[in-house]
Amino acid sequence: MNLLEIIKKLNLECVIKNDTEISGLNTLTDATDSEISFLDNKKYIKDLEDTKAAAVFLKEEFLPLVPTGTVGLVTKEPYLNLAYASKLFAPKLIEIDGLAPKVGKNSHIMNNVHIGKNVTIGHDCTIMAGAYISDNVKIGSGTTIYSNVTVYRDCTIGKNCIVHAGSAIGSDGFGFAHTKEGKHVKIYQNGNVIIQNDVEIGSNTTIDRAVFGTTLIKEGCKIDNLVQIAHNCIIGEYTIITAQVGVSGSTTLGRNVVMGGQSATAGHLSIAPFTTIAARGGVTKSITENGKTWAGFPLFEHRPWLKLQGKIAKLIK
């Protein structure tokens, strides 16, 4: 789709000198010169100045900061326009055309498995009845997908992975722009999920696809049942996430992090490698030092937290 066409569809009042082909949307930092981005939060002004995006939705006041070669798409509501534009780039729910699946040797695809177009499945895989493998999915060799798992379109699962029953890989991230009237406009989640090799995922766990780019689960992670991993998270190698944990959007966990049962993180933060979060711990700020153990909500280092609990217990007397 061309930039001019997008401007027209969104009813923006913008004059551009040269039209250009647009392939999608992205953040200011990651956008290429064929992508549109947005500035909705002053925090990211620096990123605007450095962006390579073809065009950026922004308020008029920021127009002077737009770098040469980038078009400023002036609007009072940049985030809403991002939402409207996201719909223009949403792929079809189901591909009608495309190649039949390629399945490697010794792979066992049971009956009642749906396999979409352009799917590649390696050798020695087992896909059990009721699994739904959507279009353009890649599954590495030696991987087992249990019954009633759904893998949404464009996602990749590595080699020697196990995905237990009922999990959803690649469901839409929870992203909405809001109108003045308090209605919510869907930001189409046009990214995907990539799960690297040797990952095990428990039953009824949900891992959301990225809004742009990729939600990434790195090699050797072990994820338990009923875990929620939101859009655009990056989970480091060999990280362990136990049952009922929630990792909010755009959060990065380093390698060999351990998240105890029912613990959670806020969004847009990072947790240093080899960190342990005790059960029920709630992480609201980034953790920058490697290898420490944290507990509680609000979060404290584990030993002071234990002392604190002792002091609180004394209040009882």
Query: What residues between 268 and 287 interact with a copy of itself by CB under 8 A?
Result: 279-280, 282
Instruction: Name the strand (E) or helix (H) holding 157.
Output: strand 156-157
93 is an interface residue for a copy of itself by CB under 8 A: yes
DSSP label at 81? Answer: H
45 is an interface residue for a copy of itself by CB under 8 A: no
32 is an interface residue for a copy of itself by CB under 8 A: no
| Piece of 46-54, 80-88, 98-106, 297-305 that binds a copy of itself (CB under 8 A) | 297-305
- DSSP output for 233-286: -EE-TT-EE-TT-EE-TT-EE-TT-EE-TT-EE-SS-EE-TT-EE-TT-EE-S-
> Least distance (Å) from a copy of itself to the CB of residue 64?
35
Do 137 and 149 form a contact (C-beta atoms < 8 A)? Answer: no
Detail the DSSP E strand segments found in 75-188.
102-103, 108-109, 114-115, 120-121, 126-127, 132-133, 138-139, 144-145, 150-151, 156-157, 162-163, 168-171, 176-178, 184-186
Nearer to a copy of itself, 64 or 182 (CB): 182
264 is an interface residue for a copy of itself by CB under 8 A: yes
- 244 bridge partner residues: none
Q: Given candidates 62, 84, 146, 212, which one binds a copy of itself under the rule CB under 8 A? A: 146
Nearer to a copy of itself, 37 or 205 (CB): 205
130 is an interface residue for a copy of itself by CB under 8 A: yes
| Piece of 25-33, 42-50, 74-82, 201-209 that binds a copy of itself (CB under 8 A) | 201-209
| Piece of 6-14, 42-50, 64-72, 217-225 that binds a copy of itself (CB under 8 A) | 217-225
Query: What residues between 171 and 200 interact with a copy of itself by CB under 8 A?
Result: 171-172, 174, 176, 182-184, 186, 200
246 is an interface residue for a copy of itself by CB under 8 A: yes
Size of the site for a copy of itself (CB under 8 A): 74
84 is an interface residue for a copy of itself by CB under 8 A: no
Query: Is 231 assigned a catalytic role?
Result: yes
107 is an interface residue for a copy of itself by CB under 8 A: no
313 is an interface residue for a copy of itself by CB under 8 A: yes
164 is an interface residue for a copy of itself by CB under 8 A: yes
- 193-203 as b/e: b if 16+ CB within 10 A: bbbbbbbebbb
Helix extents (H) in the chain: 3-9, 45-50, 78-88, 302-315
Phi then psi dihedrals of residue 184, to 5 deg: -115, 130
Query: What residues between 109 and 128 interact with a copy of itself by CB under 8 A?
Result: 110-112, 114, 126, 128
Structure tokens at 5: 């066409």
- List the catalytic residue out of 114, 231, 268, 302: 231
Q: Which residues make Cβ contacts (< 8 Å) with residue 113, sequence separation at least 6?
A: 127, 128, 129, 130, 131, 132, 133
Catalytically active residues, by annotation: 231
